Amino acid sequence: MPDLITSDGSIRHDEWVVVPRPADGESLDVPHQPALIPADLWLAGKEHFEDRDDIGVWLDSHEEPEILAGVANELPVIAVNFPKFSDGRGYSIARILRERLHYRHELRAVGDVLLDQLQFMKRCGFDTYVLRGDKDINKAARCLNFFTQGYQAATDTDVPLFRRRAS
Amino acid sequence: MYVYDEHDRQMAAERVEQFRDQTQRALAGELREDEFLPLRLQNGLYVQRLAPMLRIAVPYGMLRSTQLRRLARITRDYDKGYAHFTTRQNVQLNWPEIKDVPDILAELAEVEMHANQTSGNCIRNTTTDQFSGVQADEIADPRPYCEIIRQWSTFHPEFAFLPRKFKVAVNASEHTDRAAIQVHDIGLQMVRNDQGELGFRVHVGGGLGRTPMVGPVSREFLPELDLLTYLEAVLRVYNRYGRRDNKFKARIKILVKALTPEGFAAKVEDEWSHIKDSPTRLTPEAISQFQGYFTEPDYQPIPEVTETLAGQRFENREFDQWISHNVDTHKKPGYAIVSLTMKKTGTPPGDVSDRQLEQIADLADRYSFGEVRVTHQQNVVLADVRKDELFELWQAVTPMGFGTANLNTLTDVICCPGGDYCALANAKSIPVAESIQRQFDDMDYLYDIGNIDLNISGCMNACGHHHVGNIGVLGVDKKGQEFYQISLGGSSHHDAAIGKILGPSFARDDMPEVIQKIINVYVDNRTEEEPFLDTYRRIGIEPFKERVYA
Spatial separation of the C-alpha atoms in residues B388 and B370, rounded to whole Å: 18
| Chain B contacts to A (CB-CB under 8 A) | 5, 7, 10-11, 14-15, 17-18, 21-22, 30-31, 35, 38-39, 121, 148, 151-152, 154-162, 236, 239-240, 244, 274-275, 278-280, 282-283, 285-286, 289-290
Q: So what's the pLDDT on residue A55?
A: 96
pLDDT at B280 over 70: yes
B161 and A91 within 8 Å at the Cβ level: the answer is: yes
**Which of A123-132, B11-20, B471-480 bottoms out in mean pLDDT, i.e. has the lowest?**
B471-480
Model confidence over B299-323: pLDDT tens digits?
999 888 889 999 999 999 999 999 9
Q: What are the residues whose beta carbons fall under 8 Å from the beta carbon of B495, sequence distance 6 or more?
A: none
A158 touches chain B (CB under 8 A): yes
Q: Which of B39, B155, B280 sits opposite A150 (nearest CB)?
A: B155
Q: Between A27 and A129, name the one with better pLDDT.
A: A129
Q: Where are the beta strands (DSSP E) in chain A?
A: 4-6, 11-12, 17-18, 35-38, 55-59, 77-82, 106-111, 128-129
* Chain A nearest CA to B54, separation (Å): 21
* Displacement of CA B367 from its chain's centroid (Å): 24
Share of chain B above pLDDT 90, in %: 87
pLDDT at B438 over 70: yes
Phi, psi of B499 (to 5 degrees): -65, 160
pLDDT at B123 over 90: yes
A85 and B161 within 8 Å at the Cβ level: the answer is: yes
For residue A35, the cross-strand partners are A17, A55
A153 and B155 within 8 Å at the Cβ level: the answer is: no
Q: So what's the pLDDT on residue B529?
A: 86
pLDDT at B47 over 90: no
Model confidence over B156-213: pLDDT tens digits?
999 999 999 999 999 999 889 999 999 999 999 999 999 999 999 999 999 988 888 9
Count of A-B CB contacts under 8 Å? 108
pLDDT average, residue stretch B339-358: 90
Q: So what's the pLDDT on residue A1?
A: 52
Chain A stretch 2-61, residues whose beta carbon is closer than 8 A to a beta carbon of chain B: none
State which residue of chain A sits closest to B162, comparing Cα positions.
A88
CATH entry 3.30.413.10 includes domain B135-293: yes
pLDDT at B51 over 80: no
- Going by pLDDT thresholds of 50, 70 and 90, the confidence category of residue B49 is low
pLDDT at B240 over 90: yes
For residue B425, the cross-strand partners are none
CA distances (Å), A71 to each of A91, A144, B51, in order? 20, 30, 54
Find chain B residues with C-beta within 8 A of A159's C-beta: 279
Q: So what's the pLDDT on residue B419?
A: 86
Helix (H, G, I), strand (E, B) or coil at A14: coil
Indicate whether this complex's ipTM tops 0.90: yes
Residue-averaged pLDDT of chain B: 94
pLDDT average, residue stretch B14-38: 95
pLDDT at A2 over 80: no
Find chain A residues with C-beta within 8 A of B252's C-beta: none
pLDDT at B474 over 80: yes
pLDDT at B64 over 80: yes
Q: Which domains does chain A have, with CATH numbers?
A: 4-166 (3.40.50)
B306-391 CATH fold: Sulfite Reductase Hemoprotein; domain 2 (3.90.480)
Phi, psi of B217 (to 5 degrees): -80, 125
Model confidence over A36-79: pLDDT tens digits?
999 999 999 999 998 999 999 999 999 999 999 999 999 999 99
Q: Which of B38, B157, B283 sits opposite A150 (nearest CB)?
A: B157
Find chain B residues with C-beta within 8 A of A162's C-beta: 148, 151, 282-283, 286, 289-290
Q: Where are the domains of chain B?
A: 6-110, 135-293, 306-391, 414-548
B14 and A165 within 8 Å at the Cβ level: the answer is: no
B279 and A91 within 8 Å at the Cβ level: the answer is: no
Nearest to A55 by CA among A23, A22, A104, A17: A17
Q: So what's the pLDDT on residue B50?
A: 64
- As its CATH architecture, domain B6-110 has Alpha-Beta Complex (3.90)
* Chain A nearest CA to B422, separation (Å): 24
B280 and A117 within 8 Å at the Cβ level: the answer is: no
A132 touches chain B (CB under 8 A): no
Q: B6-110 with B306-391: one CATH topology?
A: yes
Class for the domain spanning B414-548: alpha beta
B157 and A160 within 8 Å at the Cβ level: the answer is: no
Chosen for mutation from B32, B126, B158 (greatest number of chain A CBs closer than 10 Å) is: B158
pLDDT at B90 over 80: yes
Identity of the residue numbered A82: F
pLDDT at B379 over 60: yes
Q: So what's the pLDDT on residue B199?
A: 98
Q: Which of A114, A122, A151 sits opposite B152 (nearest CB)?
A: A151
